[in-house]
Structure 1
Amino acid sequence: MKIPFFASFIIFIVWLAYELSKVRRRSEKREASFWEKEAQANHTRRKPLDGLNYITIPFEKLPMELLADDEKISECHRILGVLKDSPVVNFTGISNTELKLEYGAPNINLLMRYDENYTTLVSTLQKWALLLYEAGYAAEAKNILEFAVSTDTDVSGTYRLLASIYTKEGQTGKIEDLLKRAENLRSGSKDTIVRILRESYR
């Protein structure tokens, strides 16, 4: 009985070594491919940024006068005012290597700043909308959240709150529209957002 067990153990060890070797080769190949692509990206010349999808904040459509004296809401307004004169672009799900290949390595710091501005924008919109919603202004909060979604935000709280408002208004069809939009997000948060919306839709 010991010999068959020993033979099986040896076969298992050989198989395991083979699988580990295969995984290592794949990993080395991926790493080599990454560094090759990164080297190419670092030598990509500067390209014009005119064609970027710059985001404009529609202040005229947002409830800027509502509870403007509230300290927390006023801070949201202040941040949005700063962003008004700053380039804002959503690069969620796009790596720095891909950005350099597309727009040139010399532009990477600018592009990262544009994306940081976008992160600040959507987090501020979420905070502002939640403050208004908790103060009893669901319609105005919905307006802010819908703008955030139009920029393809990946803030899960934005989708959760907006779906809740739609549910209370009996607009479940709009949750389905949100779900379709969420399914096309580039973000790593996509699956979480889709799950939230599916649960809301049910």
Structure 2
Amino acid sequence: MKFPFFASFIVFCLWLTYEIHKSRRKEEQSADAFWERESEANRTRRKPLDDLSYITIPFDTLPMDTMKDDPEIADCHDTLHSLSEGPIVNLTGISNTDLKLMYGAPNIGLLTQYDQRYTVLARTLQKLAALLYQGGCIKDAEAILTFAVSTRTDVSASYRLLASIYKELGTPEKINDLIPVAEGLNSPMAPHIVSYLKDAADGHMPE
């Protein structure tokens, strides 16, 4: 009885060794492919940035006069005006390697700045909308969040608050319009946001 067990053990060890080696080969191949691609990206020459989706803050249509004397809201306004002085581009979900391949390695510094400005924009819009909502200015908060969603923000709180506003304003059907936007986000947050919005559209408002 011992021999079959011993033979099975040997077979298992051989199989395990094979699987470990196979896994290592895949990891090595993946690493080689990554560094080869990164090397190609670093050799890519500067390209025009004309086709980037630059974001313009529409101050003329946003509720910039509402609660403008509130210090926190005034601070948000100052941040937005400061951001408007430079290029803003949403590059969420695009790796530096891909950016260098698309626009050239010499542009990576500029592109990083553009994306960082967008990150600040998305967070500032969410903060401003929340402050307006807390102050009872629901329609104004809706306007801020509508703009935020148009920039393809992946700040989940913005979608949650906008869905709540739609419910309060008696227009819950508008939540369905947010779902395809969320589904198209190039962000790890997309599935979570989509799931929340589908639940909200079905009449549930999960935490």
TM-score interval, smaller chain: over 0.9
Aligned length: 202
Q: 4+ residue runs of structure 1 moved beyond 6 angstroms?
A: none
- Please, what TM-score do these two structures have when normalized by structure 2? 0.94
Deviation at 1:170, TM superposition (A): 3.0
Aligned counterpart, 2:93: 93
Deviation at 1:6, TM superposition (A): 2.6
Q: 1:89 corresponds to which letter in structure 2?
A: V
Matched, 1:182 2:186: no
Matched, 1:148 2:148: yes
Deviation at 1:3, TM superposition (A): 2.9
- Please, what TM-score do these two structures have when normalized by structure 1? 0.96
Deviation at 1:24, TM superposition (A): 1.2
User: What SS does the aligned partner of 2:49 have?
Assistant: coil
> What is the CA deviation profile of residues 103-145 of structure 1, one whole-angstrom value per residue up to 9, with x for unaligned ones?
0100000000000000000000000000100111111101100
> What is the CA deviation profile of residues 132-185 of structure 1, one whole-angstrom value per residue up to 9, with x for unaligned ones?
001111111011001000011000000111111112223232211111111111
User: What SS does the aligned partner of 1:164 have?
Assistant: helix
Aligned counterpart, 1:15: 15
User: What SS does the aligned partner of 1:61 have?
Assistant: coil
Aligned-pair identity (%): 56
Q: Distance in 2 between matches of 1:65 and 1:12?
A: 72
Aligned counterpart, 1:84: 84
Which deviates more from structure 2 when the two are superposed, residues 58-67 or residues 1-10? 1-10
Structure 2 matches for 1:110-129, cutoff 5 A?
Answer: 110-129=110-129
Instruction: Name structure 2 gaps, 5 residues minimum.
Output: 203-207
Q: C-alpha root-mean-square deviation of aligned residues, in Å?
A: 1.1
Aligned counterpart, 2:161: 161
Pair 1:9–1:58, CA change in 2 (3 A): same
Q: Distance in 2 between matches of 1:173 and 1:13?
A: 59
Q: Distance in 2 between matches of 1:27 and 1:177?
A: 41
Instruction: Name structure 1 gaps, 5 residues minimum.
Output: none
Q: Distance in 1 between matches of 2:8 and 2:164?
A: 57
